[in-house]
Amino acid sequence: MKSYLRLALIASLLPSCVYAHRASPDGVSPPSPGADAAHGAQPPYADAHRELMAFLFRYEKEATRPSPLVHGTTRTFLAEFLENPASHYSELKAYPAITNARWWPGYAERVASGYHHRNQAALAMLQRQLGLTKAHPGRDVREPGAEDTLNYRTRGAAANAIKAGVDPDIFLKAWDMNGVYPSVAAGYAVALQIVRDRSASAPVSQHGRQALKPEVVTRYLSTRSPERLEEQDLRYLTQVLRAALHSPPDPDRRHRRRHLPAAFRVARVAAAYQDAAGYVSNAICVRDRKAPGMPDGVDATIDHRPLCFTDATDRAVHAWYRRQLRRELSAAYLHRDHHNGFAELVHWAGAVMVALDVGAFVEVVEAAVADEAIASADLLDESAASLAFPDMALDANDEALVADSLANASRNRRALHCRISP
């Protein structure tokens, strides 16, 4: 098991993210304008994770004995917040011991100065940033209405898509254009939504400077066949997603808070596609919670079982998504001579897969998953500063798949939609 300190040092070099309070569906109610003005801050946009690292390291310097939060394992750290850190469906602890630390009031003041209940707000930001919240309708997300259920196909799909912040037209079109590979569709959906939202919030005169191309969204949504998608548009969307995976989450201006980190948004959209497609097995969820008898630990996804996504934490859904992406890649590789789109999938995965793994780091994944990501990207042998940049080498298996895909590219009718950075 790797020390949490090592992961924290790595994560502190990468952009981190923020969230809202869980007291109301979709997050903490934002403070009044007066509160913001009085404190000169915007608490919903505070960098809770980076501030936590700063406070932990400062405390470690001053403490007379080592802190288990710094020197313990990832599971030790998560146990501060979760009732059962080994479960995909763990509930949050109501009163984590971390909130009794002598430095906590200063931390809460730093990240939630504009809230009346700063301790609760700071804790909620941290819980959401670490991927510990769920997608329960009416609690973690707003209750999907009849129109939502119709637009996203099912109530569960609607809850996951709403938490990901993806509009119905984008959700359905990305699925239609990439139906064979829903994991890829989820990435394009998030990229399209990012471009739409950023374009809507920025003056048209600034679009060029900010590399915003709303016409890409328009063309994508109007395309009737995957073969007619423009290669340069797909490259652009892949670049948008890759950059988002390494950046703090965008503001969600409709709800006056931050979106989920891009890695969690992609995973939630993929979960929505899974729910929308339906299941042939017994019920996965009962009243938005995992069905009785369903496994909830490491065996929950054995044999590629789906999770009860509304009841699973963002971390759990993200771990499921990474396995699904690799599963799709493996299946496409095995049947590469018989299925179109193999080269597209490999190049897309090569462009974002490592970034998705690094995204897992920043959100403090299980130690086992973190170890896998470290090994595959050779992060332990790299200088920590290099992690601030998105271009990272693929592991040997991915490089072999990419090389083979290039050799077989001429046999694929569809264009190579993405490229591996040199």
Can you tell me whether residue 107 is helix, strand or coil? Answer: helix
CA pair distance 383, 300, nearest whole angstrom: 36
What confidence category does residue 20 fall into, taking pLDDT thresholds of 50, 70 and 90? very low
Specify the pLDDT at position 378. Answer: 38
Q: Quick one: 270 exposed, middle or buried, by C-beta within 10 A (0-12, 13-18, 19+)?
A: buried
Higher local confidence (pLDDT), 298 or 261 = 261
pLDDT for residue 383 is more than 60: no
Q: Calculate the CA 185 to chain-centre distance.
A: 14
Closest CA to 82 of 95, 73, 99, 68: 95
CA pair distance 243, 130, nearest whole angstrom: 20
What confidence category does residue 385 fall into, taking pLDDT thresholds of 50, 70 and 90? very low
Specify the pLDDT at position 61. Answer: 74
pLDDT for residue 151 is more than 80: yes
Tens-place pLDDT, residues 253-271 = 787 777 888 999 999 999 9
Structural domain boundaries in the chain: 4-129, 146-411
Specify the pLDDT at position 78. Answer: 87
Specify the pLDDT at position 355. Answer: 66
* Count of other CB atoms within 10 angstroms of residue 172: 19
pLDDT for residue 67 is more than 80: no
φ, ψ (nearest 5 deg) of residue 251: -65, 140
Q: Over range 295-307, report the average pLDDT.
A: 74
3-state secondary structure the chain: CCCHHHHHHHHHHCCCCCCCCCCCCCCCCCCCHHHHHHHCCCHHHCCHHHHHHHHHHHHHHHCCCCCHHHHCCHHHHHCCCECCCCCCCCCECCCCHHHHCCCHHHHHHHHCCCCCCHHHHHHHHHHHHCCCCCCCECCCECCCCHHHHHHHCCHHHHHHHHHHCCCHHHHHHHHHHCCCCHHHHHHHHHHHHHHHHHHHHCCHHHCCCCCCCHHHHHHHHHCCCHHHCCHHHHHHHHHHHHHHHCCCCCEECCCCEECCCHHHHHHHHHHHHHHHHCCCCCCCEECCEECCCCCCCHHHHHHHCCCCCCCCCHHHHHHHHHHHHHHHHHHHHHCCCCCCCHHHHHHHHHHHHHHHHHHHHHCCCCHHHHHHHHHHHCHHHCCHHHHHCCCCCCCHHHHHHHHHHHHHHHHCCCCCCCCCCC
φ, ψ (nearest 5 deg) of residue 285: -120, 150
Higher local confidence (pLDDT), 282 or 248 = 248
Q: Which residues are bridge partners to 290 per DSSP?
A: 285
Classify strands 257-258 and 289-290 as parallel, antiparallel or unpaired: unpaired
Dihedral of CA atoms 254, 257, 261, 264 in degrees, nearest 10, equals -70
Question: Is the Cβ–Cβ distance between 129 and 49 less than 8 Å?
Answer: yes
Cβ neighbours for 157, distance < 8 A, ≥ 6 positions apart: 272, 273, 275, 276
pLDDT for residue 17 is more than 60: no
Higher local confidence (pLDDT), 44 or 92 = 92
User: What one-letter code names the amino acid at 123?
Assistant: L
Q: Over range 15-30, report the average pLDDT.
A: 38
What confidence category does residue 57 fall into, taking pLDDT thresholds of 50, 70 and 90? confident
Q: Which tokens in the block code for residue 92? A: 């949050």
What confidence category does residue 115 fall into, taking pLDDT thresholds of 50, 70 and 90? confident
Tens-place pLDDT, residues 163-191 = 999 999 999 999 999 988 899 999 999 99
> Which of 189-193, 364-368, 384-388, 403-407 is modeled with the greatest confidence?
189-193
Q: Over range 306-334, report the average pLDDT.
A: 87
What confidence category does residue 237 fall into, taking pLDDT thresholds of 50, 70 and 90? very high
Q: Calculate the CA 420 to chain-centre distance.
A: 21
Specify the pLDDT at position 64. Answer: 64
Q: Which tokens in the block code for residue 138? A: 């009416």
